[in-house]
Amino acid sequence: MKKSPVELINLVFSSLMVLLTFTGSIVFLFTDLFSDRAFGNKRIVLGIVFLAYAIYRSYRMYTALKKEKEME
């Protein structure tokens, strides 16, 4: 079944959000970028929150695609 433009936009937006939040978590956990603004425990907590949100968005996207496949 062909996807509507709204579904495609939603899929692309969800994919970009997962990519951005995962990249943000990598930046905060493993690099010194923005170390002058976020440092210490704040930096680690922010990286973990970004990673958790990326995992959550990935799971939601996976379940939505799985549900759509079952409906076909």
pTM of the model: 0.79
- The structure tokens listed for 60 are 């939601």
Question: Of 57 and 35, which is predicted with more confidence?
Answer: 57
State the average pLDDT over residues 17-46. 87
Band (2; pLDDT cuts 50, 70, 90): low
